[in-house]
Structure 1
Amino acid sequence: MTDTAARPIEARSGISARMVVTVITGAALMTLAAKVQIPFWPVPMTLHTMAVMAFAVVFGPRIAISIFLTYLAAGAAGLPVFSGSPERGIGLAYMVGPTGGYLLGYLVASWLVGKFASGKGSLGRLGAMLAGMLPIYGFGAAWLAVYVPLDRVFAAGVMPFLLGDLVKIVAIAAIGMVLPTTIARFKGKA
């Protein structure tokens, strides 16, 4: 038996059972976050953005992207994981619909926020999350322009969600300040 074959798969791949459980649990929580609707002005808000940002800040880019890719794979397979599904469609049909650009933006934000928040203090994490909103709204609005007249994209796809997203980002930053030991434990450092 070779040395490589004798080492556990975990040691060879860098993937641990804990990581697999974290990713699957994260994808389940992402689904729950997409389904929760909280009355807010001017539109009800989901916790989707909050989950994306929280996973990126807590786990870093590798696990945050893994969580979101798992979530997207479940959605592509036809599971009703997305906000408004199954009522507004499921599977790939939903993913290429009007909100498809936001899904791509969340994926990019998972990496961006995870990368730039790593090792930073509260203000650095807050800045990383604010920067993470750029690809979410950028890709979201660009894709939405396929479905909505260009002069209405900002009013339909950005403005109604800005205040809610800012509230969610501030909440994550505040939680990160209050519970640093708990966050370190989630990262496996405590």
Structure 2
Amino acid sequence: MTEAIAPAMPGARSAVKIAATIVLGVALITLCAKLRVPSWPVPMTLHTLAVMALAVTVGPRLAAATFCAYLAVGAAGLPVFSGTPERGIGLAYMVGPTGGYLLGYLSASWITGTLARDRGPVGRALAMLAGLAVVYAAGLSWLALYVPANQIVALGFVPFILGDLTNIAIVAVGGALLPARLRGKIVR
């Protein structure tokens, strides 16, 4: 009987490890979405930092699954998004002006994780920049439903790009400084 159970153990252990990574990832994204760092012209959140760090460390499938879980928790009405509950919660928030950015982060989780796989520090940084381009493409396109076309860049790009680039730089430098033996132990 022990032999019949033993082969299932690595799979069960792996499932627990994956579930724990997703739960901790959702907590990290939520915390980073809520933190506000004083900056100009608007306070910066660390949302991009969390999404990109997860994408380059856990890979595309687990990063996308984690962001899907984050969206599901938010859709269920828990105040996990930046500015919630003050600016609404649940699906009402998700279809609001920032909905495109949320969709962009989901896509960026997969794209960044895929492009960063087996890359060095420069390759990972470029993968994060590609993911950020996807975030802004989706976010600005969606924002066009809510603001006049001549204000999209001024309201949806200019105030946030410096903070997002700073977040990516932090992840890139932090990842480069992480010892290679620790990078190899991260779930993929």
Please report the TM-score for the alignment, with normalisation by the length of structure 2.
0.92
1:85–1:64: structure 2 CA closer, same or farther, 3 Å change rule?
same
Counterparts of 2:88 and 2:176, CA distance in 1: 39
Alignment partner, residue 130 of structure 1 = 129
In structure 2, C-alpha distance between the alignment counterparts of 1:10 and 1:97, rounded to whole Å: 43
Output one character per residue of 1:81-111: Cα deviation in whole Å (capped at 9) or x when no partner: 0000000000000000000000000000000
Write the deviation string for residues 125-183 of structure 1: whole angstroms up to 9, x where unpaired.
Answer: 01000111111000000000111101100000011111111111111110111013333
Q: Which residue of 2 aligns with 1:116?
A: 115
Whether 1:145 and 2:144 are equivalent positions in the alignment is: yes
1:105 is aligned to 104
Matches within 5 A, 1:6-25: 8=8, 11=11, 16-25=15-24
Query: What does residue 33 of structure 1 align with?
Result: 32
- TM-score norm. by structure 1 comes to 0.91
Match of 2:185 in 1: 185
Partner secondary structure for residue 120 of structure 1: coil
- Indicate how the Cα distance of structure 1 residues 88 and 143 shifts in structure 2: closer, same or farther if over 3 A, else same: same
Amino acid at match of 2:185: R
Judged with a 3 Å threshold, the aligned counterparts in structure 2 of structure 1 residues 9 and 77 are, in CA distance, closer, same or farther, namely: farther
> Runs ≥4 in structure 1, deviation > 4 angstroms?
4-7
Partner of 1:58: 57
Unpaired stretches in structure 2, ≥5 consecutive residues? none
CA distance in 1, matches of 2:82, 2:29: 10
Cα separation, partners in 2 of 1:87 and 1:174, compared to 1, 3 Å: same
> Cα gap change, 1:18/1:147 in structure 2, threshold over 3 Å: closer, same or farther?
same
- CA change 1:121–1:90 in 2 (3 A) is same
Q: Over aligned residue pairs, what C-alpha RMSD do you find?
A: 2.1
* Deviation of 1:118 (Å): 0.4
Q: Give the length in aligned residue pairs.
A: 185
Aligned residue runs from structure 1 range 48-87, under 5 A? 48-87=47-86
